[in-house]
Structure 1
Amino acid sequence: MANVRELLGRLNQQTIRYDVGRGGIAELTNQDIAAALAFVEPGLGRELLEACWWPDGAALRRKQLRDQVLALVQPELRRQCRALEEARIDVGIAKACIGWGGAATAEQARELERATARLERAAAECWPRTTLESLPTLAQAVIREIAHPNLCSDCEGRGHRVAGELVVACIACSGHGITPMSDRKRAAAIGRDESTYRQTWRGVYQWLLVRMRDAESQAAAQLAAALSRAA
């Protein structure tokens, strides 16, 4: 069977038909593909699968994609806010303990130092304050990277190589078949310079990429399973 992502692309508007096999005998028709898509679990993965490979269909479902991406990031943003606030409270408690008894003891000084370090780590791990307003740009850049990955030149995107009589994982891409896009390209994709991207936006982008790519892969696997039953 062809790559299910390529099959899904047949649903885009086109003038040439690709749904007829040799001798005019239908193999998988566009109707089969559309029907199989119904067996993909609704959610972020399905929305991404359509956004990457069936943009004509995804154009009708922009609200659903938006809602799914927001649902993905909201828990993480809330977690970061809670961690930062709790770290601030810990620093305040440590300072209050010192002020309560006059001169700080060695243990109180160490606790304040530890609490301050936790606060600094929590602040460093927080995403930029403008993350939500930048989310449409970030999400579209991630979707483009998923749809147009950098295929590994060593294994040509297969994730493995033939060594004699053995099939081994490609060392260059660690068996993934793709190599990461450069920071420079990612920065350009979200309209930032490379330095700002590295300092401010890299963590957000990579967090989104990992989770959105995983969701899309799971949806593609579900589509492949549904198509195999229809074949």
Structure 2
Amino acid sequence: MPDYRRLLAKLNPRAVNFLGAGGGAPEHTTDDLNGALGMVSDGLGRQLLEACWVLGPGHYPTLLMDTMKDMVHKEWTSRRIADEVARLSLHIAEEDLAFRRNPTHDQKMQVTRLKLEAEGAKLRAWPYNPEVHVQIRRAVLDEIRGQNHCETCQGRESVWDGDLSVTCPECNGRGFVALSGRKRAEMIGLSEGAIRNTHQWVDLYEWLLGRCRQAERYAGEQFERSLGIGLDKAA
């Protein structure tokens, strides 16, 4: 497990149970850890560190939930606008084609192209259901907390081959093992069939999860640097 998660848990020892942790004197004091956490940039990453590794399971801070909500709504709006623009562009082109008695090959091909673009924009547009959106945010947070890290690299995304750090071959550098579609469906309150038949829910979930993992990892690296921990040391 990456050092920052283990260290942050010391700020609330009851939050996470690290099996096999040593019992000697701590390498860093709580003052050191709080100071390093204070050096992490404000924003999503720091909020995730605090919620996942200090507060622990069962906590869904309002500030973090609002940050995640704003991210999703911004992307949701962007995709919906793209969908509307694509459909309007297709409508205008089809109307223009219908008006012409002898449309050219290029004009016909333009309509074909715009149909494909409209279909793609429609597939990329996310659905909206208030309850499901809230549950997705909670489920993403729970999946990050779940510590389902790759057993080979322990979530570090790379392993040591002699003196060379290489991409972990087991997880292809992701650092974690994704939950099954069935498990994710349970977490957000939808059947596995509903998830499978509405791929936009899967896309939304994985989009948010990916950005949260990236932000959490970057904030964790900031935290480690503040403590003077080398990021390229052997696990």
Bin the TM-score by the shorter chain.
0.7 to 0.9
Deviation by residue 1:16-71 (Cα, 9 ceiling, x = unmatched): xx9x964xxx7422222122211111111111111111126x95x82211221123
2:144 matches 1:146: yes
Q: Partner of 1:82 in structure 2?
A: 81
Q: Partner of 1:207 in structure 2?
A: 207
Deviation by residue 1:77-121 (Cα, 9 ceiling, x = unmatched): 121122111111111111221233345443333222221221111
Name stretches of at least 5 consecutive residues in structure 1 with no aligned partner: none
Shift in CA distance, 171/138, structure 1 to aligned 2, threshold 3 Å: same
Letter in 2 for 1:87: A
Q: Equivalences for 1:127-138 in 2 at 5 Å?
A: 127-130=126-129, 132-138=130-136
C-alpha deviation, 1:177, in angstroms: 3.5
C-alpha deviation, 1:194, in angstroms: 1.7
Shift in CA distance, 45/154, structure 1 to aligned 2, threshold 3 Å: closer
Name stretches of at least 5 consecutive residues in structure 2 with no aligned partner: 15-20, 230-235
Q: Partner of 1:43 in structure 2?
A: 43
TM-score relative to the length of structure 2: 0.79
Whose helix fraction is larger, Structure 1's or Structure 2's?
A: 1
Deviation by residue 1:125-150 (Cα, 9 ceiling, x = unmatched): 111122x5422211111111112232
Q: Identity percentage over the alignment? A: 36
Shift in CA distance, 155/222, structure 1 to aligned 2, threshold 3 Å: closer
- Rounded to whole Å, the distance in 2 between the matches of 1:69 and 1:35 is 25
Q: Partner of 2:232 in structure 1?
A: none
Q: Equivalences for 1:128-207 in 2 at 5 Å?
A: 128-130=127-129, 132-155=130-153, 157=155, 159-160=157-158, 168-200=166-198, 201-207=201-207
Calculate the aligned-residue CA RMSD, in Å: 3.0
- How many residue pairs are counted as aligned between the two chains? 219
Alpha-carbon contact 2:83-2:122 (below 8 Å) kept? yes
Q: Partner of 1:118 in structure 2?
A: 117
Partner SS, residue 228 of structure 2: helix
Q: Partner of 1:8 in structure 2?
A: 8
Alpha-carbon contact 2:148-2:177 (below 8 Å) kept? yes
Deviation by residue 1:185-230 (Cα, 9 ceiling, x = unmatched): 212221222222233211111101110000011111111122228x
Partner SS, residue 74 of structure 1: helix
Shift in CA distance, 64/120, structure 1 to aligned 2, threshold 3 Å: same
Structure showing greater radius of gyration is 1
